[in-house]
Structure 1
Amino acid sequence: MAVKAMTAKEITEKALKKENLFILDVRNEADFNDWKIEGENFEYLNVPYFELIDGVDPIKEKLPKNKEILVVCAKEGSSKMVADMLDEAGISASYLEGGMKSWSEHLEKIKVYEDQDVTVYQFVRVGKGCLSYMIVSDGEALIVDPSRFVEEYEAFAKEVGAEIKHIVDSHLHADHISGGRMLADKLGADYYLMKSEGATFDFLPLEDHEKITFKNVMLEVLAVKTPGHTPGSVSFFVNNKLLFSGDTIFVSGLGRPDLGNKVKEWAKDLYKTVYSKVSQIADDVIVLPGHYGNLDEEMNEFGYIGATLGDIRKRNEKMFNATEEQFLEQVEKSASSVKPPNFEEIVAINRRGKFVDPEKMQELEIGPNRCAVHHAG
């Protein structure tokens, strides 16, 4: 009997439901330590595939007898072969369909907010820690920070009976290739970005559109020079209730200030952002960030990634109640952490708006998110 494939979506559902899963990861040790499938109740055994070429006998005693086993590799082939060997040895196991590449690309859709004016959906790219959003009002939709999988947004808009007419990017992303221009070109939608980001293609500058209104939505652009990856990051304040914070505020911290090699200057800008603009926003406003660091820690009791600004202030009390000197010292410490893989090339692609072939984009994006690294609790 052929072994079964498990999809990235099925694994995501297990992670969200906090189910048990034993993962046998047959990639090399460095790749496993750098980036793996994460779940609160997931257990792991990392044994490189080349150590199992002669059979699985060396690891049989290390495998659980009463837990579901999933074999994982980079592209699928090695994990399928190991799963077959386990099956021949009388051990039931599945393999990850499409390997870690499919894990990197899966988008999980979650409804995060609804009132009489708007419905908001969060697209969780679980394998990357990236978040994008669809704001729907009376049959019209706005997309925030879309990934390059434009067909997913298009199909979901049809599913909820909406037409995508507006697209915004909070900055030029460093860890993934934006789908903003691709989606706008395909659908004829308006695409907005800060002019100060230096993009070389046509778009609507957010400097000239401090408010975007449609149907029952009023989106305010909090245009400040904030750290993260760029000099022109922005946040979007919708109907005075929802703050789409891009890479400025995360549930567990603040944006990193070092990708532009101007740590001190951008850390000062971040201080001004936190203590002037953000300090004026009410505690009950819901913050919806552009990234997260740990799914188990940052997903709330309602099943999405986000929190009220009041909760974030409490969670990161040291950062929200610091002197400027203390703040700068704390933020600069985060600059020593590992930068996102291939970030310079990804930013360059996003700046030009000219996209390489899908396989190259997939290769550039592979690996973990390292944008939400500044946990300041």
Structure 2
Amino acid sequence: MSPLEISPEELARIIETKAPVLVLDIRSKQQYLEGHIKGAANAVCDSMQQKQVIMSKLPPHMKIILVDEDETIAKENATMMARFGFDAHYLKGGIKSWTSELVKSSQDTTISGDSLWDSLKKNEDVFLLDVREPSEFSEFKIPGAVNIPLSQLFSSGYESSIPKDKKVVTVCSHGNRSMVATFALAQKGIEATSLVGGMAMWNQVLNATSLKEGDVTIIQVEKVGKGCLSHIVGSNGEAVVIDPTHPASKYVEFAQKEGLRITKVIDTHQHADHVSAAKDLSHLVGAKLYLSKLEEYRMESEQVEDGMTISFGSKHLRAIHTPGHTQGSMSFSLDDMYIFSGDTLFVEGIGRPDLRDKAEEFAANLYETLHSKILKFPDSAKVFPTHHGEGVKPTSEGLFVTTIKDAKKLPLLDLDKAAFVSKVVSITTPRPMNYSMIIKINKGTIPVSQAQIPDLEMGPNRCSIRM
């Protein structure tokens, strides 16, 4: 008998005596819900990286028992964990050998990003417990979350900081540590649910807010965990989508709710912080794809040039070459009253010019773009950007939008050209995570799978600068 092997009878005794033990069911979530050992936490680690991350956060002094279907995978993982110094074991024969009653979960112990967002929008009493390490938490987080690292949840003293009258949702990077956290909390008598996919999937949640003015419908789509903004612009049942993000299928849903059919898709530039869904969306709905002629894309599209018009319904978008954030950036004007500015101008700042390593040249171009083109529109014109920064609040209508009048009040836009370039170049912020690979994907030079996108987009929005 292997020293790592735990018989069903021995595990039953351990559970009955309430000895300190962590039972991890490493089967699929569906298998776990259909029947699991009472008190077991579900933790699926599909990659070595995920295994290493979760192992680094487990308490080394606690006995850990892995459970799978027939012991094969559990034995392999327990052996690996034991080599790393963990008191790790596996259930002999797996769940098939368990003769005691299994717990069937009619209610999931997890919550999806969309469901969590719905709860937060409704101002429900939710306590967000982020169990990542402080260094991870400081990089980016869900607003309002409280950080208690997973390793601390197996000790005492933190319980008083978790309210008993709120729904507790645990959060980590991919959903594994947060599942283990629900087990640790349950041992303290605290019920909790785990955010599926963690922060990686939180960054994939999309929220739509509509604005109707006359015969124009504008649906602003926010990637709530990332601050990315895209726009469905409709007229007479026809719509153009500007800067869509993944998942592409959500745009079809949002458009249909407003009685719109997507016929054209546009990217304002080659994005650096998220994977564009423009190509996928255009293929999904059979729409024409429009990309800047000056961005050297490696994919088939209609090429956008300065002054070009794109028609939909009874309306026309006019392309404006707005270099600065990138050399080929395009903004789009609708009736000179709605400006879709891409990453040129934001509610709180401007697009950073340094992501192509030509900061001074691009900053000078950005100054000319802003003062000679964008700020020449009427003061009442509304500006719809492609991002918003952390802490920026939406309007009472729920939109992230500014006006030309308000944009002129930004401190950076009050500087002369030399001072502007000097100041902008001096503002150094970390670059978006994985930005060089994302640029190549969006350019069309390397492929990407849907499964890769959440991890590629992990991290905060870092495309704007402000004073």
Q: What TM-score results when the alignment is normalised by the length of structure 2?
A: 0.73
Q: Which residue of 2 aligns with 1:140?
A: 238
The Cα of 1:293 is off from its aligned counterpart by 0.6
The Cα of 1:26 is off from its aligned counterpart by 1.3
Instruction: Report the secondary structure of 1:341's partner residue.
Output: coil
Superposed, 1:194-209 pairs within 5 Å as 194-207=292-305
Superposed, 1:107-256 pairs within 5 Å as 107-111=206-210, 113-207=211-305, 210-227=308-325, 230-256=326-352
Q: 1:35 pairs with 128, 134, 140, which one?
A: 140
The Cα of 1:118 is off from its aligned counterpart by 1.3
Q: Which residue of 1 aligns with 2:147?
A: 45
Does the aligned pair in 2 maintain the 1:118–1:216 contact within 8 Å? no
Q: Separation in 2 of the partners of 1:157 and 1:63?
A: 40
The Cα of 1:307 is off from its aligned counterpart by 1.6
> Does 1:304 find its partner at 2:395?
no
Q: 1:89 pairs with 179, 188, 191, which one?
A: 188
Calculate the aligned-residue CA RMSD, in Å: 2.1
Give the letter aligned to residue 400 of structure 2. I
Q: Separation in 2 of the partners of 1:354 and 1:164?
A: 26
- Do the aligned partners of residues 17 and 293 (structure 1) sit closer, same or farther apart at CA in structure 2, a change above 3 Å counting? farther
The Cα of 1:77 is off from its aligned counterpart by 2.7
Q: Separation in 2 of the partners of 1:354 and 1:110?
A: 33
Q: 2:430 pairs with 318, 338, 348, which one?
A: 338
Runs of 5+ in structure 2 lacking a partner?
1-104
Q: Separation in 2 of the partners of 1:302 and 1:158?
A: 21
The Cα of 1:14 is off from its aligned counterpart by 5.1
Q: 2:422 pairs with 314, 329, 333, which one?
A: 329
**Deviation by residue 1:212-271 (Cα, 9 ceiling, x = unmatched):** 1222212111113222xx211111111222111100000000000100111110110011
Pick the structure with greater CA Rg.
Answer: 2
Q: What is the aligned-residue identity percentage?
A: 33
**Deviation by residue 1:171-217 (Cα, 9 ceiling, x = unmatched):** 00101111111111232211111111011111111117611122221
Q: Which residue of 1 aligns with 2:198?
A: 99
**Deviation by residue 1:320-353 (Cα, 9 ceiling, x = unmatched):** 221112211221122x110001111111111116
Instruction: Report the secondary structure of 1:298's partner residue.
Output: coil
**Deviation by residue 1:112-146 (Cα, 9 ceiling, x = unmatched):** x2123211101110111111111111111100001
The Cα of 1:43 is off from its aligned counterpart by 4.5
Instruction: Report the secondary structure of 2:366's partner residue.
Output: helix
Q: Separation in 2 of the partners of 1:297 and 1:15?
A: 17
The Cα of 1:85 is off from its aligned counterpart by 2.9
Instruction: Report the secondary structure of 2:280's partner residue.
Output: helix
Aligned length: 362
Give the letter aligned to residue 146 of structure 2. Y
Instruction: Report the secondary structure of 1:149's partner residue.
Output: coil
> Does 1:278 find its partner at 2:374?
yes
> Does 1:367 find its partner at 2:367?
no
Q: Which has the higher contact order (CA 8 A, sep 6+)?
A: 1
Q: 1:348 pairs with 431, 435, 440, which one?
A: 440
Give the letter aligned to residue 346 of structure 1. I
The Cα of 1:22 is off from its aligned counterpart by 3.1
